Amino acid sequence: MVVMKFGGTSVQDATAIERVAEIVRSRHDQHPVVVVSAFAKVTDQLVLMGQQAVAGDCDAALQLLGMLQKRHFDTAQQLLGAAEGRKINGKLEATFAHADAFLRGLAAIRELSPRSSDQLLSFGELLSSEIVAAALAVRGLDTVWVDSRKCIVTNARYTQALPLAEETRKQTQDKLGAIIAKSKIPVMGGFIAATAEGVTTTLGRGGSDFSAAIVGAALDADSIEIWTDVEGMMTADPRLCPDARTIREISFNEAAELAYFGAKVLHPATLLPAIQQDIPVFVLNSGNLKSKGTRITARAPRSRDTFRAITAKTGVSLVNVVASRGVMVHGFLRSVFEALDRYAASVDLVAISEVSMSFTMDSKRLPTALISELERIADVTCEGQQAIVCLVGEDIHGKPGIAASVFDAVAAAEVNIRMISQGASEINISFVIQENDVPKAVRQLHARFFSPAVVAQAAAASGKRTGKIRKATR
Ligand code: ASP
Ligand code: MG
């Protein structure tokens, strides 16, 4: 059994949904379960409508809802034609009528609680899943629309709900088991769920990946496929580095490290339910049916290259805090950390000596009041427009000389390193450079540590790794 999740861009219009039908057809023998996001941008628009309604501009909210309605009906019409479309028109109309009443209600009470926000945002996935289920059916796939709120049971932490494993497993198996047993294909919305009492919840923005992992874990799936608009995870950002290529296999820890330091494809934390059960997750490109994508597993085989990937996170500030002369060194670090704690500052990298500490933070999240407070106990310099470059790879563990060759490559690019950190996890080496040095540093590092794409692809095609991928997909 394979859980196939399609993100917003993979279902953004009729053409994209046609492709989804082809992709699902290609997995027909593997008992697919389809999970879809709202059409691209729809969730953002629902958020905006909620804000408009609460601000008292009900007309603006309803106007936007009208555009959303047109987009969904147009897409349905293109995919289904008039006759077939009629079968789901009633359901779509009911959802829009509900949304209309809901927005008017928000405008009347001028209040949007987390609980009502979840109700409002759920419309996106309810609509997209209905349309996709019908579109696939018209193309000869025996689909059944499933209400995700009857499968995934969560706590009542609205906007960020967490699944209750036991209940979810039972409900999901009850609901989907019978459908799959008849070789039918369940189609459901991602992101949305409900409490045990049946109140709608959401799993946090971008939560459809989480839904796929939850459903996959509940059904003991053989694999989970996350279909998106990029060719899996890459060895580097292809906009920075034309030589970047798709990573064939990566461990969950490596993927998590990459996401943290800038890679935006998916948030691996959401894959945890699957990884804990050893279900492999594939990230695939819905624009390319032949895409092999990236396979994420608890433990990935050794990579041919020293590292698995390079990422760069820009928009970072580097703060150096040096104990003022004459100030007692004792207690210095504690005062700095206490200040960070008071501002709930989330720092990325830290380097410490007896009398100084350097740390980096996202510039947008660095409070000026924190700097002023630190200035009272130390000499502080703060520089913006810095970047963290991070090289990730589990194989670097315990290998001597790697740091030296990394810094040698950076020196060859004539880039100055401002701060260095090699984490205790020993799966990454990170350092800080100026933002505008990022492209040349990344290109130089990629050339040094990654073999050219052609060679790697040929090796993958002839090697046993490809065979393994195929087997695991079954
Ligand atoms: N539609 C939701 C969002 O935009 C969930 C998702 O797409 O994963 O956050
Ligand atoms: Mg996403």
Closest by Cα among 260, 344, 280, 357 to 318: 357
The CATH code of the domain that includes 342 is 3.30.2130.10
Q: Could you tell me if 292 and 323 lie in one domain? A: no
- Identify whether residues 278 and 366 lie together within a single domain: no
Residue 225, beta-bridge partner list? 4, 282
Positive/negative CA dihedral, 104, 86, 198, 121: negative
Give yes or no for residue 158 CB within 6 A of ligand 1. Answer: no
Distance between Cα 203 and ligand 1 center (Å): 9
pLDDT, tens digit, for every residue of 253-302?
898 888 777 667 777 778 889 989 999 999 999 998 888 899 999 888 88
Mutation test of ligand 1: which of 205, 211, 214, 229 has the most ligand atoms closer than 8 Å to its C-beta? 205
User: Does any domain span residue 304?
Assistant: no
Residue 383 falls inside a structural domain: yes
Q: For residue 198, how far is its CA from the centre of ligand 2 (angstroms)?
A: 25
**How far, in Å, is the centroid of ligand 1 from the Cα of 113?**
19
Q: Decide if 425 is inside a domain.
A: yes
Any domain includes 59? yes
| Residue scoring higher pLDDT (237 or 47) | 47
In this structure, the answer to whether residues 289 and 343 fall within a common structural domain is: no
Among residues 337, 432, 322, which one has the least CA distance to residue 380?
Answer: 322
Residue among 43, 128, 152 whose CB has most ligand 1 atoms within 8 A, to mutate:
43
Averaged pLDDT of the chain: 91
Among 31-40, 300-309, 311-320, 372-381, the range scoring the smallest mean pLDDT is 300-309
Counting atoms of ligand 1 from 1, which one is nearest the CA of 191?
Answer: 5
38 lines ligand 1 (CB under 6 A): yes
pLDDT at 301: 85
- Is residue 39 one of the residues assigned to a domain? yes
Q: Which two tokens stand for residue 100?
A: 């209309």
Q: Do 211 and 334 fall within a single domain?
A: no
Residues 286 and 326 in one domain: no
**Ligand 1 closest atom vs CA 203:** 5
Angle at 244 between CA 240 and CA 246, to 5 degrees: 135
pLDDT at 425: 63
Q: Is residue 132 part of a domain?
A: yes
Q: CATH code at 176?
A: 3.40.1160.10
Do 134 and 220 sit in the same domain of this protein?
yes
The rounded distance, in Å, linking the Cα atoms of 37 and 5 is 8
Distance between CA atoms of residues 461 and 458, nearest Å: 5
Distance in Å, CA 105 to ligand 1 centroid = 24
User: In this model, does residue 35 exceed pLDDT 70?
Assistant: yes
Shared domain for 292 and 314, answered yes or no, is no
- pLDDT score recorded for residue 454: 52
Residue 329 pLDDT class (50, 70, 90 cuts): confident
Any domain includes 473: no
Residue in 208, 228, 229, 266 to alter for ligand 1 test, most ligand atoms within 8 A of Cβ: 208
Secondary structure of 124-172 in HEC code, one letter for each residue: HHHHHHHHHHHHHHHCCCCEEEECHHHCCEECCCCCCCCECHHHHHHHH
pTM: 0.85
CA-nearest residue, atom 6 of ligand 1: 206
Nearest CA to ligand 1 atom 2: 206
pLDDT digits 0-9 by tens, 88-98: 999 999 999 99
Mean pLDDT along residues 399-410: 91
Residues 230 and 378 reside in one and the same domain: no
Residues 99 and 179 in one domain: yes
Domain that holds residue 388: 309-467
Q: How far apart are CA 296 and CA 197, in angstroms?
A: 35
**Same domain, yes or no, for 290 and 363?**
no
Highest mean pLDDT, choosing among 273-277, 328-332, 444-448, 467-471: 444-448
Q: How many structural domains compose the chain?
A: 2
**Pair (142, 79) in one structural domain:** yes
Domain assignment of residue 474, yes or no: no
pLDDT band for position 303 (cuts 50, 70, 90): confident
- Torsion 119-123-125-131 (CA) sign: positive
Ligand 1 pocket test, candidate residues 191, 203, 210, 229, most atoms within 8 A of CB: 191
State whether the beta carbon of 238 lies less than 6 angstroms from ligand 1: no
Q: How far is the CA of 102 from the centre of ligand 2 (A)?
A: 26
Distance from Cα 14 to the centre of ligand 2, integer Å? 19
Question: What percentage of the chain carries pLDDT values higher than 90?
Answer: 75
User: Is the distance from the beta carbon of residue 205 to the nearest atom of ligand 1 less than 6 Å?
Assistant: yes
Domain boundary among 297, 318, 342: 297
Amino acid at 257: E
* Predicted pLDDT of residue 291: 80
From 271, 297, 323, give the residue that closes a domain.
297
Whether 241 and 130 share a structural domain: yes
Choosing from 297, 325, 351, the residue where a domain stops is: 297
Angle, helices 438-449 vs 402-412, to 10°: value is: 130
